[in-house]
Amino acid sequence: MTKQMTTTTSAATTCDPAVRVTKSLLAYGVIAGPLYVAVSLIEVFTRAGFDPTRHAWSMLSNGDRGWIHITNFLVSGLMTIAFAAGLRRVLGTGAGARWAPRLIGGYGVSLIAAGLLRADPGLGFPVGTPDGPGTISWHGYGHFAAGAIGFSCLIAACFVLARRFTAEGAAGCAWSSRVVGVVFAASFLGLTAGAGASWSLLAFTGAVLLVSGWQAAVAVNRYRRASH
């Protein structure tokens, strides 16, 4: 009898429209980071003249196929905002319930802004561009500003969610969130200080892979708790 009641309750929760909406929104968080990374890596290895030790991924927005990376920014940003909405629904109350979704949402908005405000060509990319840093346009400055704001939001979200995990007794998730936040912050500062040095570009690329995986892991974690 107890088993039957548990099964009935579980089925009712699964069929709850509100739970389905929340899980659908959280699922976008699972996809957003890996999608951006996968599309970018395909471009890195297929775009003529692109060198990951010299060129930032944002520069892929230039050239005949630049629309692909611009679309990648826009779609990933919209998915991240949807994830933030799902996060707000599933967190309810308690530590990070308000600020974690806001910060993740801010990062999503910054991705859209980074797509609309294209990074400038330079350093020989796209093919035919003079081999030098070139001049920075108004939209180039806007792109940098969007990145700085978005990355700051994402770093802060790592620590806000670490507090949430700590409150829930999930020490492993809390520590991993803090580590990701520290690594990503250090790589971003290194990118700024490195002024385009190969080591700073490669370190930041690795940090982007790490933080994208973290975002997906958080989305999976909350997805599993959405019906509880």
pLDDT of residue 98: 94
pLDDT of residue 228: 55
Q: Which residues contact 141 (CB under 8 A, 6 or more apart)?
A: none
pLDDT of residue 194: 76
Element (H, E) at 82: helix 66-91
CA distance 109 to 117: 12
pLDDT of residue 14: 53
Q: What is the mean pLDDT of each run of 10 residues along the chain (228 residues)?
A: 45 68 95 96 95 94 95 98 96 92 97 96 90 86 95 97 96 96 95 85 95 96 83
pLDDT of residue 87: 96
pLDDT of residue 132: 79
Q: Which residues contact 40 (CB under 8 A, 6 or more apart)?
A: 57, 60, 69, 72
CA distance 85 to 91: 10
Select from 159, 161, 37 the least CA-distant residue to 87.
Answer: 161
DSSP letters, 87-154, are HHHHH-SSTTTTHHHHHHHHHHHHHHHHHHSPPPPBTTBSTTS-SS-----HHHHHHHHHHHHHHHHH
Please name the residue ranges forming H helices in 168-197: 171-194
Q: Confirm whether pTM is higher than 0.75.
A: yes
pLDDT of residue 166: 96
